């Protein structure tokens, strides 16, 4: 987490840093700050909370200078406070850092024993202290940085400058992304290309483990295995990120309503008439797909829920065992099936645990690929990638990225099923033709907005919420609960409906609301779900049934009947969208910060 940005050039650093930080706010918004160099002085400005607060401060107290660094923080070590906000200054040196220094306590003890005085509770301060100790003892900033890096354990992207050599900006990275952009105004460094896209024409990615020194127009590289002496730049292929709400109150609502378009674009990218094609998967096609024992579907949070749905599709259509794995848990696996393949799912393509899972697969020689929404992300640059065509997702809660991931997984299952002879071309053709109704089906779902708002009003006084589902609706229950937790701060849990009587039913009492999800066309699921609902009601819970398909029974409890759809896959997407709307409606009624909920960050770049 945390976003960093740096500038050295002919313009005023403040403007570029501030604009960059606004675009990096998705990485954390506990506090932010910038440091510039101006006529022999180091100027530091920090604010608690969002970048707007820093902007207000800079309006009153500008930070002049054409060299500078900035940071927006998601607190890991030390509570959010002005003292702990970055940039962290120690003497003549000032540092911003994204990542975690695992051995910071040990280094801090060592530095304290040498008489160094600490001001913050951050792990970052040990970096600044080590560098400052080096330059103060007469070493060059390059040498001091190099030695400091040699002492660090953990992951980092670091920017620093110092009064001993203020005409240079120093960059270092290990495991976390760092990009340098070159443009008319000079050089801009950042955690994310989007943050600097409007200022630069070309970008160069800092190699993992390397140090880069920006000075004038030069970009000297050190500690680089390949021996490269300067950064390699490539033309930036996109100009800017869509940061407009386009008349919607929140990015989240805009992104929910963008789903028909996002899904149709994703469909067009991989489906042509009756064919599904994944050009970037030739490395898999060259392997004998019949040799595949298992597919590992890996992700975190919402992406993990997409993996769970993918597992259902793979088992049904692909004729291959699939398992869904949480990235951070996957990494603890003692055994990997050598006849396997890994699918890494991530909206941002920067999630640290998912990247680490990829490294683990690559080390074991297991073919892998990614499903990601960001073409220039670390994940997409590290392995063949299938892009979801959701467009930029700004709101912290994932919506359109999720449904497009689910669509790609569904297409993959069909693609594999055809290759393995599990489904025939006719069946594939008919499944693909129902997908042409995807946009219309979501539009109908979105038209239920008023009913969803009404349902939301009835949830406000709930003690807590339980979401129940079976089969593909089970991951949706988990996702619905996650969504309402993160944006509306409502305590909610998702469960497989059949699991309730194995323990969680002990929590059911008056005041608890149950959201039961049902595809009523599925006879087996319907009867079992209706039985579970009765068990909940008889213990005092109020139940809302959200269903696709015809119920065929009169219910004595409130129901939300979703528009009829042509196939179970469309039902899945329709329920997913409705649950997103429900979480949004509750969040708005509760007045939470919908797009940037407390304690969260869009991109989780620490393990």
Q: Which residues contact 122 (CB under 8 A, 6 or more apart)?
A: 77, 78, 84, 86, 88
β-strands 513-519, 492-496 pairing: unpaired
CA distance 289 to 92: 59
Considering the complex, what minimum distance in angstroms separates the CB of residue 408 from ligand AGP?
13
CA distance 35 to 17: 9
From the CB of 59, what's the least distance to ligand AGP, in Å? 32
Residue closest to ligand AGP when measured from CB atoms: 301
Chain-centre distance of CA 269, in angstroms?
22
The rounded distance, in Å, linking the Cα atoms of 390 and 262 is 4
- 14 or 372: CB nearest ligand AGP: 372
Minimum gap (Å) between residue 401 Cβ and ligand AGP: 6
Q: Which is nearer to ligand AGP, 483 or 525 (CB)?
A: 483
Do 383 and 355 touch, CB atoms closer than 8 A? no
C-alpha–C-alpha distance, residues 446 and 140, integer Å: 60
Residue 359 vs 420, nearer CB to ligand AGP: 359
Contact 535, 507 (CB under 8 A): no
Indicate the residue among 12 and 347 with the shorter CB distance to ligand AGP.
347
Q: CA 179, 28, 22: angle at the middle one, nearest 5?
A: 65
The Cα–Cα gap between 86 and 74 comes to: 11
Q: How far is the CB of 441 from ligand AGP (least distance, A)?
A: 23
> How far apart are CB 235 and ligand AGP at their closest, in Å?
26
CB of residue 244 to ligand AGP, shortest distance in Å: 21
**Where on the chain is the footprint of ligand AGP (CB under 6 A)?**
300-303, 346-348, 351, 354, 396-398, 486, 603-604
| Dist CA 289 CA 274 (whole Å) | 21
- Find the angle CA(112)-CA(150)-CA(230) to the nearest 5 degrees: 135
d(CA 182, CA 200): 5
Which one, 43 or 456, has the nearer CB to ligand AGP?
Answer: 456
- Burial tier of 49 (Cβ tally within 10 Å: 0-12, 13-18, 19+): middle
Please say which residue, 398 or 445, places its beta carbon nearer to ligand AGP: 398
Active-site choice (400, 470, 485, 602): 602
Mark whether 567 is an active-site residue. Answer: no
DSSP 139-182: --HHHHHHHHHHH--EEEEEEEEETTSTTEEEEEEEBS--EEEE
Shortest spacing between CB 373 and ligand AGP, in angstroms: 8
Given 2, 32, 93, 312, the catalytic residue = 2
CB nearer to ligand AGP: give 362 or 564. Answer: 362
- For the beta carbon of residue 83, count every other beta carbon within 10 angstroms: 13
**Would you tell me how many other CB atoms lie within 10 Å of the CB of residue 217?**
10
Helix pair 568-590, 473-488: axis angle to 10 deg: 20
Q: Is 300 a catalytic residue?
A: no
The label of the residue with tokens 């390059």 reads 142
H or E element in which residue 4 lies: strand 3-9
Give, for 525, the enclosing helix (H) or strand (E). helix 523-537
**Nearer Cβ to ligand AGP (8/252):** 252
**Nearer Cβ to ligand AGP, position 396 or 466?**
396
Work out how close the CB of 594 gets to ligand AGP at its nearest, in angstroms, rounded to a whole number.
Answer: 12
Closest listed residue to residue 462, CA positions, set 577, 554, 589, 581? 589
What is the smallest separation between the CB atom of 591 and ligand AGP, expressed in angstroms?
19
Q: In terms of C-beta density within 10 A (0-12 exposed, 13-18 middle, 19 or more buried), how is residue 403 classed?
A: buried
Token pair 């670091």 in the structure block, residue? 158
Question: What radius of gyration, in Å, describes the C-alpha atoms of the chain?
Answer: 26
- The set of catalytic residues is 2, 602
């Amino acid at each position: 987490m945390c976003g960093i940005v740096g500038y050295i050039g002919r313009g005023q650093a403040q403007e570029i840093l501030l604009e960059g930080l606004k675009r990096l706010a998705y990485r954390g918004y506990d506090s932010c700050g910038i440091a510039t160099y101006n006529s022999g002085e180091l100027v530091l400005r920090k604010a608690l909370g969002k970048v707007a607060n820093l902007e207000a401060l800079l309006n009153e107290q500008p930070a002049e200078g054409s060299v500078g660094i900035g940071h927006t923080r998601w607190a890991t070590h030390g509570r959010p406070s002005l003292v702990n906000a970055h940039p962290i200054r120690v003497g003549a040196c000032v540092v911003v850092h994204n990542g975690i220094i695992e051995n910071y306590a040990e280094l801090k003890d060592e530095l304290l024993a040498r008489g160094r005085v600490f001001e913050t509770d951050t792990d970052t301060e040990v970096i600044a202290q080590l560098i400052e100790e080096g330059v103060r003892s007469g070493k060059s900033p390059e040498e001091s940085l190099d030695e400091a890096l040699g002492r660090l354990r953990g992951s980092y992207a670091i920017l620093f400058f110092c009064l001993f050599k203020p005409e240079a900006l120093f960059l270092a990275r290990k495991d976390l992304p760092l990009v340098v952009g070159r443009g008319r105004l000079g050089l801009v460094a950042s955690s994310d290309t989007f943050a600097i896209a409007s200022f630069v024409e070309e970008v160069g990615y800092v190699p993992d483990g390397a140090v880069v020194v920006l000075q004038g127009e030069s970009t000297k590289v050190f500690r680089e295995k390949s021996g490269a002496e300067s950064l390699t730049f490539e033309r930036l292929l996109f100009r800017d990120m869509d940061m407009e709400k386009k008349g919607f109150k929140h990015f989240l609502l805009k992104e929910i309503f963008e789903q028909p378009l996002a899904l149709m674009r994703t469909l067009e990218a991989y489906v042509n008439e009756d064919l599904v094609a994944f050009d970037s998967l030739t490395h898999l096609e060259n392997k004998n797909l019949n040799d595949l024992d298992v597919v590992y579907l890996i992700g975190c949070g919402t992406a993990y829920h997409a993996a769970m749905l993918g597992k259902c599709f793979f088992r049904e259509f692909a004729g291959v065992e699939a398992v869904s794995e949480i990235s951070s848990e996957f990494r603890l696996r003692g055994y990997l099936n050598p006849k396997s393949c890994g699918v890494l799912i991530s909206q941002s393509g920067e999630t640290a645990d998912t990247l680490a899972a990829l490294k683990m697969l690559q080390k074991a020689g297991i073919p892998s690929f990614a499903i990601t929404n960001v073409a220039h992300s670390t994940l997409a640059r590290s392995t063949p990638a299938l892009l979801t065509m959701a467009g930029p997702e700004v709101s912290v809660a994932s919506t359109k990225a999720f449904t497009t991931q689910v669509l790609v997984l569904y297409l993959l299952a069909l693609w594999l099923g055809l290759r393995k002879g599990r489904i025939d071309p006719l069946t594939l053709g008919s499944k693909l033709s129902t997908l042409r109704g995807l946009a219309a089906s979501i539009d109908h779902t979105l038209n239920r907005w008023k009913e969803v708002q009404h349902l939301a009003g009835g949830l406000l006084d709930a003690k807590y919420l339980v979401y129940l589902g079976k089969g593909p609706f089970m991951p949706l229950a988990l996702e619905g609960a996650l969504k309402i937790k993160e944006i509306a701060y409502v305590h909610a849990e998702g469960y497989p409906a059949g699991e309730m009587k194995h323990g969680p039913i002990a929590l059911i009492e008056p005041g608890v609301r149950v959201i039961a999800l049902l595809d009523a066309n599925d006879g087996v699921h319907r009867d079992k779900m209706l039985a579970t609902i009765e068990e909940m009601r008889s213990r005092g819970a109020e139940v809302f049934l959200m269903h696709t398909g015809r119920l065929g029974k009169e219910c004595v409890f409130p129901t939300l009947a979703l528009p009829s759809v042509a196939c179970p896959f469309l039902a899945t997407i329709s329920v997913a969208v409705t649950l997103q709307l429900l979480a949004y409606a509750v969040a708005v009624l509760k007045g939470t910060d919908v797009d940037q909920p407390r304690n969260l960050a869009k991109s989780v770049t620490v393990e």
